[in-house]
Amino acid sequence: MSGNILEVKDVHVHYGGIHALRGVSLEVPEGQVVALIGANGAGKTTTLRAVSKMLKPTSGRVTFQGEDVTARPSNELVARGMAHAPEGRGIFLNLTCRENLELGAYLRTDKDGIQVDADKAYALFPILAERRNQVAGTLSGGEQQMLAVARALMSRPKLLLLDEPSLGLAPQIVERIFSVLRDVSATGVSLLLVEQNAHKALQLAHRAYVLETGEISMTGTGKELLASPEVRKAYLGE
């Protein structure tokens, strides 16, 4: 292996006549946080969906843990250690918190281990422990986002894809979400993070990419992009 848990090479995606991704290439090193920032409609969500096989690239290659998985189905990627917490949370609103967490571990058979990981999720997000028997549709937006992240962690991923985890949340909830992501990263899980809060994302990221109209326009360490005048003007409101 190259030291990268994920490599995306020259990926193109079309939606009908729309060329949504135009040769996107990026790398996620083992154990690191990589952020993907850009304006709405730049192709960030499409990139994550192409990686996790929620949609099929027109061309290009996706390599996960040293293997070409471009043609592999999404459930096989989950079994190999990739989890995707999508934009809009994607939780089962008619099920309880506990049932949602159990579904996050649907490919696992180690009952004791599943319980251990559920307890870890409740430790990361204590409010979910209080709400474990509550139907997810009755949770606040912040609680639903916490549940989406916790459910993704239940598959014991080696790589976690996160799409806009702070979108629409109150500042104190955003702080909690990013604190948990920092803790998750410290355990060795690699993260590919799409996030509209560019400042938070770049503070957390070891490396980052800027996506503009389906193409990577800039890359560097999180600190380098935080210091970039172009990034500060376009994405940090300065």
For residue 42, which phi and psi values (nearest 5 degrees)?
A: -75, -20
Task: Kindly indicate whether the domain formed by 1-81+159-165+190-238 is annotated with CATH number 3.40.50.300.
Answer: yes
CA atoms within 13 A of residue 180's CA, in its CB half-sphere: 24
The predicted-structure confidence for 95-136, as pLDDT tens digits, reads as follows: 999 999 999 999 899 999 999 999 999 999 999 999 999 999
The predicted-structure confidence for 151-206, as pLDDT tens digits, reads as follows: 999 999 999 999 999 988 889 989 999 999 999 999 999 999 999 899 999 999 99
pTM to 2 decimals? 0.93
Handedness of CA 6, 12, 16, 17 (dihedral sign): positive
Alpha carbon distance 142, 182 (integer Å):
18
Q: How confident is the model at residue 55 (pLDDT cuts 50, 70, 90)?
A: very high
Query: In whole angstroms, what separates CA 222 from the centre of its chain?
Result: 17
- Residue-range domain boundaries for the chain: 1-81+159-165+190-238
Tokens found for residue 56: 């099929």
pLDDT over 90 percentage in the chain: 88
